[in-house]
Amino acid sequence: MSKQALLQRYQSNNLDLKNRVVMAPMTRSRANNPEKKPTEDLQGLYYQQRASAGLIISEGSQVSEEAVGYINTPGIHSKEQVEGWKLVTDKVHNEGGKIFIQLWHVGRMSHPDFHNGELPLAPSPINPNAQSYTPEGFKETVAPKEMTKEDILCTINDFKQAAKNAMEAGFDGVEIHSSNGYLFHQFFNATSNTRIDEYGGSIENRARFFFEVLDAIKEVMPEQKIGARFNPSLNGVFGMTMDEETIPTFEYIIKKLNDYDLAYIHLSEPFTDVSDISYAVTEIAKHFRPLYNGTLIINSNFDQEKGNQVIENGDADLVAYGKPFISNPDLVERFANNLELAEWNQDTFYTPGSEGYTDYPKASEQVAS
């Protein structure tokens, strides 16, 4: 079992992980308290149960009140939230685990209900024509407010402060959520960013906001503790539409990141079938691995066999698993012993409380009972 690529220790200049299995960031909507803070008995236990992963990347956590777009998601912008996250990181570290927090701003994928009736912020006033899950249920998205340069500067500072807060909370690092149709991705994409200033138009301009945030975060923490997530072939999800410049944009960003000394970049394989789109990339890891010199995490629909294979092929260094970690807190141990995986209950992905969250048993507990 120890010969599995997934179970090998991973060491780079910036990471030392006990295995190559990463717990992917997943929204679980359990911060249903006024402070939107994690608690010891819920998030603390949830992440502690999964600390055998080589690396945990937390659920997306908003960097400000303006960044929120889903109910009951935790933040990392208040003292109460920092104190709550300290309880989580302590529990993970006590189990010998490592955990990064994902820093999140949803941009236009929000609703005025979250912002006292004000419009959500985005690069351009273009409605994603999607749905936002509000306290009153699903509602249609609206055309957002185009961010002013002051809004952009404030948001850069929000990310910078959130990274500083994350270090105070004891995280091993941060992941910038620049993926899945949220704020940074909206800047990258020419169909959601029609600005004519220095943040729009050319590929370099559309990537400018991301790099300004990255440079700001570097001022408060070592860049070796920073990761970033991207979804280059996202199409038809979260209001995103690919065009001929989409892949060249991500090629530019990822090549430019070689100038930094990041912990990793985290890429997702396509969420939908893009084989009929001539300018899409259907094998993300294989395409981008030659372009990036640092640690590469790959994600989306990997099982044990495919995870081992992508590492053995040299197309990725680490593999991130999402839903399998929901129902298998001992996913690493199940891989090690080639055990069957437990099924997840999708009905409890986003519901309050412990059901479908911290009550999935480990294989050893099932045997013992």
Q: 28 with 357: CB under 8 angstroms?
A: yes
Give catalytic status of residue 182 as yes or no: yes
Residue of 10, 46, 70, 182 marked active site: 182
Whether 200 and 193 have beta carbons less than 8 Å apart is answered as: yes
The closest of 212, 221, 314, 313 to 262, measured between CA atoms, is 221
> Which run of H or of E encompasses 331?
helix 331-336
C-alpha 126: how far from its chain's center?
A: 24
Assign 250 to helix, strand or coil: helix
In this structure, what DSSP letter does residue 40 have?
A: I
Judged by DSSP in three states, 132 sits in strand
Which of 9, 11, 10, 15 has the alpha carbon at shortest distance from 222?
A: 15
Tokens at residue 347, please?
Answer: 């009905």
- CB neighbours (10 Å) of residue 291? 16
The SS3 of residue 164 is helix
Strand residue runs (E) in the chain: 10-11, 16-17, 21-23, 55-62, 99-104, 121-122, 131-134, 137-140, 145-146, 173-177, 226-230, 264-268, 296-299, 318-321
Q: How far apart are the first and last CA of the chain?
A: 25
Helices vs strands, H then E, count in the chain = 11, 14
Task: Give, in degrees to the nearest 5, the angle at Cα 152 between 163 and 242.
Answer: 95
Integer Cα distance of 61 and 287 in angstroms = 29
Report the alpha-carbon distance of residue 323 to residue 28 in Å, rounded.
Answer: 11
The CA distance from 318 to 299, in Å, is 9
Dihedral of CA atoms 272, 139, 209, 202 in degrees, nearest 10, equals: 60
Residues recognised as catalytic: 182
